[in-house]
Structure 1
Amino acid sequence: MVAILFLLNLSNSFAQNWEIGISAGGSNYLGDLSPDIVLKETKTYGAFFFKKNISPFFSNNFYFYRGKISGDDNNFKHLKIRNLNFCSTITEISYQLEFNFFKFAIGLNPNRFTPYVFTGFGTFFFQPVTTYNGNVVRLKPLDTEGKKIESNKNSYHLVQPVIPFGGGFKIKLNKDVNLAIFVGFRYTFTDYLDDVSNTYYNIDVLEDKYGPLSPVLSDRSEIKIGFNGKQRGRPDMLDFYYFYGATLSVKIRNKVCFEF
């Protein structure tokens, strides 16, 4: 109720056919440290958005997301020996084109519900970290796979393009308020959300270049399996992240009348 009142108060100075909304729910990822869905690694996200209804079937949506993802080899029997883990904050700005299967528009449209799908494009920022001896450590500066040494360039970029896609179900609570539940996947163009992609690098070279922490976090296995050139990740498979949750939006009014 507080959220609805807050959004309604913000709507007074804008034009009709626009909505303003908030979203919250769970966030997770698929990648080298999590090849399958692991529910216990689910983190949370929050978002706000503006929606422009261009017809009863289509709308333009502009989103800002902030959430977390994580992964751990210890969740999988065949990966435990590698013993890597990470977490990262995801900050995303994206445009999404939404399509309703039934005619649906906030206001007086007779349909109160519809399934819908969406896709679009955007950009996101991430920063993989891990915990070592009780301290949070950023992984990219340690160049754990020696990519920067090999190419004399950045090992990978922390700002990346993303393609959001997914779908859900929305319902009209009243003529001014919509509620939706959804699942939204993110196709990325990087395999380094988790700082793992290719092969192990020579630990002596890593230590000479970055200090003792780089080789330690490159190979965290107890029996030290990471000899130079051995496969560390799967570069043929890019990483995904995804959100699932609910959105709440209200119509933005261009004129408000008060009765006393």
Structure 2
Amino acid sequence: MNKLLILLSLIVYNEFIFGQYKFFSERDNWALNKFEGVVSFGATQFNGDLGGLQFKGIDYSFLDIDIPSTRLFATVGFRYRFSPYFSTCSSISFLQLYGSDQYTNNIIRQSRNLTFKTNAFDFSQRLEWILWADERYGAKYQIPGTKYDPGKNKQLYLYTGLGALKFNPKGIYNGKWYELQPLGTEGQGRIQNTRPYFLWTATVPFGIGYKFGISRLWRFGFELTYFKTFSDYIDDVSTKYQNITGLDEITTYFSNPAVDNQNWFRPGDQRGDSKTKDAYYTIGFTLTKNLLNKKIRHQKIKGRKIEIRKDKNSQF
């Protein structure tokens, strides 16, 4: 009986694995989408030390975001699909990140009164795992008296990778925005054996996406991405208040801009949470164009190689 169960399990596993392979590769349409240009745009949400829930913040959680802190991002990239199941994408993104204690109902953080913004650039390389795809080229034209088949071009995928984020946090004082890193608001570069924090950090994206064809060359889709970073200073807040004398007016303000309950924010008191690194999310739309050579295409159908040529007026 046990041998029979093992045999049946192997048969089911074999059908699942090779069934997936057949589903992806029997028409070889994935090879017609090997090279793609990508643009995307949408919204960002910063998840750091500022703002958040009324009670204790939840690290790396959607529940700890502030809708008014939403900002924008835009991305351009190039995707190379090297198998039915996997592709890789190189991209550069411009994004805005923002956080403020004014958006929380937590009395301590409200009184702390910290705010930041930064324009940032992210350079990333990611690997995409195509979980599901329905890719089939249909008829280019509808012939009278026949059923029109426009074809299908859909994908559901997960992705991760590595990136580098360039950021530069700023704070507002008397209506003017100032760069915060040179000020050393937590004593960086002013206290012995300390130095200013780096304005670069590595990032690791984790995301899910779905896209579908709107023509033979174009796909439209959606992506949701969480970015883990290795810096706790994207918002210029990490450790404790410091006792530093001789500071100018601007540095003094940004070191401790508390408006109420100043006795909660004395030297040595907690200013941020250094145990948890900053993170951010993006959610947006994607537009993808097939960049495969338009003059000549190759498609394998039932083991035969068919050469598809394009005349000057064709859009395929």
Query: TM-score, structure 1 length as denominator?
Result: 0.86
CA distance in 1: counterparts of 2:283 and 2:136, whole angstroms: 23
CA distance in 1: counterparts of 2:200 and 2:166, whole angstroms: 5
Q: Which residue of 1 aligns with 2:161?
A: 120
Q: Which residue of 1 aligns with 2:9?
A: none
| 1:25/1:46 contact within 8 Å kept | yes
Tell me the CA shift for residue 179 of structure 1. Answer: 1.4
Query: Does residue 90 of structure 1 match 2:120?
Result: yes
CA gap of 1:104–1:95, structure 2 versus 1, over 3 A, is: farther
CA gap of 1:239–1:151, structure 2 versus 1, over 3 A, is: farther
CA gap of 1:59–1:81, structure 2 versus 1, over 3 A, is: same
Q: Counterpart of 1:121 in 2: which secondary structure?
A: strand
CA gap of 1:17–1:112, structure 2 versus 1, over 3 A, is: closer
Aligned partner of 1:177: which letter? W
Q: Counterpart of 1:112 in 2: which secondary structure?
A: strand
Tell me the CA shift for residue 103 of structure 1. Answer: 3.2
Q: Which residue of 1 aligns with 2:312?
A: 258
Matches within 5 A, 1:1-260: 17-35=34-52, 36-78=64-106, 79-103=109-133, 112-205=153-246, 207=247, 211-223=248-260, 224-225=262-263, 226-256=265-295, 257-259=311-313
CA gap of 1:219–1:96, structure 2 versus 1, over 3 A, is: same
Higher relative contact order (CA 8 A, sep 6+): 1
Where in structure 1 do 4 or more consecutive aligned residues deviate above 6 Å?
none
Deviations 1:52-94 (A, max 9, x none): 0112221110011001010110111221010010011120000
Deviations 1:149-179 (A, max 9, x none): 2354432100111101111222122321111
CA distance in 2: counterparts of 1:197 and 1:111, whole angstroms: 49
CA distance in 2: counterparts of 1:259 and 1:222, whole angstroms: 68
CA distance in 1: counterparts of 2:103 and 2:212, whole angstroms: 37
Tell me the CA shift for residue 133 of structure 1. Answer: 0.8
If you compute each CA radius of gyration, which structure gives the higher value, 1 or 2? 2
Tell me the CA shift for residue 24 of structure 1. Answer: 0.4
Which consecutive residues of structure 2, in runs of 5 or more, have no partner in the other structure? Answer: 1-31, 53-63, 139-150, 296-310
CA distance in 2: counterparts of 1:117 and 1:100, whole angstroms: 7
CA distance in 2: counterparts of 1:222 and 1:228, whole angstroms: 16
Tell me the CA shift for residue 255 of structure 1. Answer: 3.8
Tell me the CA shift for residue 142 of structure 1. Answer: 0.6
CA distance in 1: counterparts of 2:38 and 2:209, whole angstroms: 16
| 1:145/1:201 contact within 8 Å kept | yes
| 2:124/2:162 contact within 8 Å kept | yes
| 2:38/2:76 contact within 8 Å kept | yes
Q: Counterpart of 1:213 in 2: which secondary structure?
A: helix
CA distance in 2: counterparts of 1:104 and 1:251, whole angstroms: 16
CA gap of 1:105–1:63, structure 2 versus 1, over 3 A, is: farther
CA distance in 2: counterparts of 1:69 and 1:132, whole angstroms: 18
| 1:170/1:178 contact within 8 Å kept | yes
Aligned partner of 1:148: which letter? G
Q: CA RMSD of the aligned region, Å?
A: 2.2
CA distance in 2: counterparts of 1:144 and 1:158, whole angstroms: 15
CA distance in 1: counterparts of 2:230 and 2:137, whole angstroms: 39
